Chain A
Amino acid sequence: MSVPAALAIRMAAIVSTIVLARNTRACRLVAMGGSILASVVTVTVAMTVVRSGQSADGVLFNHLASGIVFSYAVTPLSAWFLLVLGLVAVPVAVYSTAYFAHAVTPARTAGVGAMFNTLLGAVEMVFVADGVITFLFAWELMTLATALLVATDHHVRASRRAAYLYLVMSHVGTGCLVAAFLVLAAQTGSSSFPVLLAGHVASGPLRNGLFALFFLGFGVKAGIVPLHVWLPEAHPAAPSSISALMSAVLITAGLYGLFRVCAFGLGAPTVRWGLTFMALGALSAILGVLYALTQNDVKRLLAYSTIENAGLIVLSLGAAMVALAYGKSELATVAVAASLAHVLNHAVFKGLLFLGAGSVVMAAGTRQLEEFGGLLRRMPWTGLFFLVGAMAISGLPLLNGFTSEWLMFQALLLGFASTPALVRLIFPLCGALLALTTALAAACFVRAFGISFLALPRSAAAAEAEESPAAMLVPQAILAALCIGLGLFPAVVLRALGGVMTFLPGLAPATALAGDGLGMVSSPISFDHVAPVMLAGALLAASGVAVALARRRGVALRRVPTWGCGGQLTAATEYTATAFSKPLMMIFRAIYRPTREVETLTEVSPYFPREVRYRAAIEPTFERYVYRPLVDAVLRVAEGMKVLQAGSLHAYLAYVLVLGVLLLLWLGGTS
């Protein structure tokens, strides 16, 4: 069992998918079956490395003529990310066997199936790449595969635009990465990661410049504000199981880069780097959740929530960097553990939520929350699993979101207690922001679940919705079970992180955080501990009391219509998703800058309107104030350069001549 084996299985799956292109069903089964097999191999490899803490390395591909060697190394950090990838990729592949039959036209099945495996294989290579060439090759393959998947429905203009935006932004990011890796390689004369990322290659302003370039490059993929604009466009455009992969795997690749290079690959981080991470992480978290709250498109909502969670991960990674800069290794350990645990937890619950959203969108034929409603009756299982995901992402105890957010709070409070004045004030402020983010996420997912699954159906399609087939429900059940299992026994995650922590420079092993096995403690001063499973016992007993108290023996339950305020209760009188988030929209109007138009059409008297048209929108701040000017500037420069493009062959020959002469003069001058 090794990484090349997993990649070989994926290659075989890709080839057979394309060969079988005519037979849609076989093509789907081969693509997904191969993917599941490969992911299982990946998980096995990752588990071995995480457990032993020993890296496994080797050569993927050796081109003798050019001397290009693709080498890999499964370090404990890589293994953690591979584990996250595998845990989500298996359920997503199972789901896709049934889902693609509906969501992808037969003509495109082979392409999507091949790209599905290409994306996963490329991300696996990103995680295990041991040199610049391998890394950049895999990185670019990952970008292109995702772009093709986003453009699956390329007859839809929005999909093409989303793919284009994603490609442009990704390539600006990749450009930054290439530049930074070239500088590093020029400093050392090597292209292998153990040399480049040993930490002592660059120093001074050069190191800061490299940090900025790497941050830009990885930040685009991780969806950090203000580099996030592609994310809410690309996620809804792709088929839902691909969206699940994008949130759980692609974003994670960006985060891996931030961990591997920015935090632990450029030498000891400085306080400023850490604070930059914390500030941008907090900004992403709060803006992500605020925008998620007002979305009526369920997949856009989940995409914005991904920005929020990536922000939380970067926020606690930043806390770890500040701690490392001050030499507080215990604090850094708590913060990195929080961060890495949240990478796993987010992948699990966001994968689950996207799969649930996929089932709902498939059943109702729309992504609009306002056209769902009452789905719990039609789709009881999907509803139950979506509820588990919603509760997990809201950071409620007994589920996995709570455990990593608990660790984040510990890191922020310990950070306050052990850093010098002024810097320390940042920590409780971030703590308050984390509390606000969590509570807003709860509001957001009460809305998302309640409006979609409860009350009366809001459209004919929702009233006729059908429950998904078992092949789509079982993967959701697996992920929901993971949410609960990881939430009740967080010590399992911390034990697994032990090897990863010892691999990263400057950290203490996380096993100390695992306590006596029931829950988690935050070292070093028994500051706090938590054992969710004990609370589960108490809650179970208390629910028993509640049920016993409210039980009326021998009295039949009476079912009556809901009071319709004097009129008929219909879907039109229900509270809408827009109305639900309206108070928060008003309170945070400085951020949303909402606009609305109300148009009343009347016939006889203004008191008897025939039709009221209402349009509300929130301002796309970043698109309008950051990207619009940037794009305009680029276009202006391009316009100016058009002068050179005269269209005359003679002019072009003249350019070549002039350039040749100038080069000769320059070269002559230097020798």
Chain B
Amino acid sequence: MDLALPVIGAVLQSAAMLAIAPLLKVTIKKMKARLQNRQGPPWRQGYSDLAKLLGKEPVRSETASWIYVAGPRVYFAAALAATTLVPVVFAAAPLEAAGGILLLVGTLALGRFALATAALDTGSPFGGMGASRDMTIAALAEPALMLGLFTSALAAGSLNLGVLVRGVVQHGPSFHPSDLLAFAGLFIIVIAETGRIPVDNPATHLELTMIHEAMVLEYAGPDLALVEWASAVKELLYLTLLVDLFMPAGIARSAAPAAVLVGIAAWIGKVFVLAVAVTLTETTNAKLRLFRVPELVSISLGLAFLALAIRFL
């Protein structure tokens, strides 16, 4: 097996995702601000924040062990490694040979496990609260996520994202109503997994409503920078996944410069469209009480199951 091409592709793709991810956060913040008649942060804000945090002196709790140090690093590594498992600009994932959807979901679960465990390490009650809530929501979201992904995978006859995307590109979009249901179901899950309103509020530090923020409350400086950056990459990754599954039009099928340029433009455009959708959801909804989240997730599960049923029965 020739490893040179996949490795170069993986390095380039993950570097690009890493570089662009902070921009996505700022885009959503800016759009949200505009909708609320505010100016919003400047475009470079995401990078400035990370640079500031990375430049600070590392501060850690006296009670923390090596788990606390490992948490953000594994979380970051998992998000970064996961970017090599999805097709972005080309209709192939750089590390397609490593695995498909299940490995992608597993890798993200690895990051979540590491961060939730590390949150318990400082002894702060917030860490425990955040970890408990984050694992709860993740557990509820998992079946809906899997069922939604299975619908696409079964339609394409493969669980490998590269094969799946190439299949959709080759045969053209099916315009089957099940796609709409599956998309709606997965969109809800993406909202839940990325900690957006109505499931979690990324802007809050109010004690009783935090989920993800409570989990990382004790982190500071470079450690916090890794968590923030990885969360941004994860969000970009989830939106790219939706793009791959439901609107792969324009994705590059060859390495010709024109195709690549179209691919890049199409990817940015489609992710932007989804970012607008996320913004609108955040702006027009109120945050749900924690114990209402299961209802939202059940809707998603129901949609995914309906999609599966009308597609294959």
Contacts and interface: CB of A to CB of B under 8 A. Distances in A.
Interface stretch (A11-19, A313-321, A569-577): A569-577
A569 B124 contact: yes
B121 A573 contact: no
20 contacts: A376-B67, A391-B113, A396-B113, A397-B103, A432-B146, A435-B145, A435-B146, A436-B140, A440-B139, A443-B136, A516-B1, A519-B99, A528-B158, A529-B160, A534-B99, A541-B81, A542-B81, A543-B73, A573-B125, A582-B132
Complex A-B, nearest 7 residue pairs according to Cβ-Cβ distance, in ascending order: A575-B128, A450-B120, A439-B142, A455-B123, A534-B98, A528-B159, A530-B99
B129 A562 contact: no
A421 B309 CA distance: 10
A608 B301 CA distance: 46
A650 interface: no
Contacts of B67: 376, 387, 453-454
Contacts of A391: 110, 113
Given A535-B99, A555-B57, A562-B218, A394 B122 contact: no
A460 interface: no
B102 interface: yes
Nearest to A557: B58
Given A539-B77, A575-B132, 5 more contacts: A406-B106, A409-B102, A551-B222, A575-B128, A587-B136
A410 B146 CA distance: 12
B187 interface: no
Interface residues of B, number: 90
A546 B103 CA distance: 21
Given A456-B63, A550-B226, A525 B157 contact: yes
A583 B136 contact: yes
Contacts of B81: 535, 538-539, 541-542
A428 interface: yes
A535 B133 contact: no
Contacts of B85: 535
B184 interface: no
A581 B60 CA distance: 27
B116 interface: yes
Interface in B69-125: 72-74, 76-78, 80-81, 84-85, 95, 97-103, 106-107, 109-110, 112-113, 116-117, 119-125
A192 interface: no
B97 A529 contact: yes
Contacts of A432: 143-144, 146-147, 301, 305
B183 interface: no
Given A558-B59, A562-B218, A413 B128 contact: no
B291 interface: yes
A391 B74 CA distance: 13
B261 interface: no
Given A442-B139, A542-B77, A575 B103 contact: no
B125 A530 contact: no
B2 interface: no
Most chain A CB within 10 A, of B55, B78, B221, B290, is at B78
Interface string A243-268: 00000000000000000000000000
A395 interface: yes
B22 interface: no
B166 to A, nearest CB: 13
A538 B84 contact: yes
A66 interface: no
A667 interface: no
Interface string B155-185: 0011110010000000000000000000000
A560 B291 CA distance: 35
Given A402-B106, A436-B142, A526-B158, A549 B98 contact: no
Interface string A515-538: 010110000011111111011001
A428 B147 contact: yes
B308 interface: yes
A156 interface: no
A587 B140 contact: yes
A438 to B, nearest CB: 7
A279 interface: no
Contacts of B153: 413
Given A397-B103, A559-B61, A574-B125, A436 B98 contact: no
Contacts of B132: 443, 447, 575, 579-583
B73 A547 contact: yes
B40 interface: no
Interface in B246-304: 290-291, 294, 301
B14 interface: yes
Interface string A430-464: 01110110111011001101110111100000000
A450 B124 CA distance: 12
Contacts of B1: 516
Contacts of A451: 120
A431 B57 CA distance: 46
Given A406-B102, A424-B312, A558-B58, A446 B291 contact: no
B129 A575 contact: yes
B31 interface: no
B65 A454 contact: yes
B99 A542 contact: no
A587 B138 CA distance: 13
Interface in B182-197: none
A564 B125 CA distance: 8
A552 interface: yes
B125 A413 contact: no
A422 B312 CA distance: 10
A396 B135 contact: no
B198 interface: no
Nearest to B119: A450
A556 B154 contact: no
A558 B136 contact: no
Contacts of A421: 313
Contacts of B26: none
A550 B120 contact: no
Given A413-B154, A424-B312, A583 B133 contact: yes
A549 B136 contact: no
A308 B127 CA distance: 28
A416 B62 contact: no
A275 to B, nearest CB: 18
Given A560-B62, A562-B61, A579-B128, A454 B146 contact: no
Contacts of B23: none
Contacts of A581: 132
A668 interface: no
Interface in A345-389: 374, 376-377, 387
Nearest to A417: B154
B54 interface: yes
Contact of A587 (B131, B225, B294): B294
Contacts of A575: 120, 125, 127-129, 131-132
B11 to A, nearest CB: 8
B238 interface: no
A586 B186 CA distance: 25
Contacts of B99: 397, 519, 528-532, 534-535
B160 A549 contact: no
A449 to B, nearest CB: 6
A531 B97 contact: yes
A658 interface: no
Contacts of B163: 526
Contact of B135 (A410, A443, A453, A576): A443
A396 B124 CA distance: 26
A545 interface: yes
Nearest to B75: A546
A440 B1 CA distance: 37
Interface string A596-628: 000000000000000000000000000000000
B235 interface: no
A476 to B, nearest CB: 18
B109 A454 contact: no
A398 B123 CA distance: 29
